[in-house]
Structure 1
Amino acid sequence: MQIPLYLLNLRRLFLALIFLPGVAASSWAACVNTATPTCGVYQSCFADRCNCSGSQYEYFKSYGEKYCKAFLELPGLSDKGNKWRDSTLRCLQEKIVPMLPVDGAANSCNCKQMQIDVFDSHVACYTQPSSSICDLSVADWSKITAATDPIASLVDQKSRKQIKEVARICYNKVTGDVKDAIKKLLDKL
């Protein structure tokens, strides 16, 4: 039986409270994911523990929170699409927690490295075996793509790299109209 990710996050919080007695419990409690995905953690935890405001490498507000909200407000996904969205948002957020400075000092965060590491976690979250974007319909893919500002995504090198990696993973897993859509995408990239 697989342990739900939010319970693993609670475990991390418990261990952090035991091993970091100087950090207030309420401080790290802001980093715990709920069973239902929310976007507040980007501000209440991540940006608070890794203060990159004003940096060209700021991620949590300008990217993470922005697209979290876009996905949560995305209408018309299938049941499978909603399951993928929720699973992906939890995965993305849970990958960030262990990357945060353990001492809780926001200014000790390496903003450039944080941005690199967080972006590097995206593909694994998008293509989780239990809920992969590869298993979604073309209709869901279209809605998800539209929510991500496709022009900006194709111009941004980090986003473009993710798109290519996800497309390559999915291309080898799918058939039919989804495979055709991925082939067209890869040809354009």
Structure 2
Amino acid sequence: MSRLKTFQIEETIDKAIDIFREKGYQGTSMQDLVSALSLNRSSIYQTFRSKEDLYLVALDRYGEKTSDITAILYEPGTCKEVLLRFFNKLFDHNRVRTCLLIFASLEMSEHPEVRARVSTNNNLRERAFFQLLSRGLAKGEIKGNPNLRDLSQYLVNVTNGITITSAGTDRKTLDTILETSLYFLR
């Protein structure tokens, strides 16, 4: 990457994440990026080659930066405690703007590289849910004997749905949705 130092590149990508979260890929013009990043067009092109490449780099960095939310699913505690911590962190993260990866999946679903990044993120979450649910089932914290793979996919879907819903819904409604979604816990 051209003349920008590594720390400046990370700051630049973080600013790009903010603008893409606010306006989406289609709604973000090159002039928006020039203004938000405080760089001229040639510096952006020299460093990132294109708006699309900058967007893909921003998606990667966003996934890395939000991995701490998924990491909660590996923390100790009962299934319910861990899931409530996870969803509360998710609510806090999306309070101001929706998740960039969700926004990308809605806006750019036909783009193979965007779809791959969204899929990777969903798969990481699914594996994290699966290991948590496996622990919970072994400890008798889950009703019945559900298919944990299916239940993990369900929780990824709940996560994505709650993320979208949180943009226009109050916290009480989100808590009700979450409580209903966790019906499978004892």
TM-score, length-scaled by structure 2? 0.30
TM-score, length-scaled by structure 1? 0.30
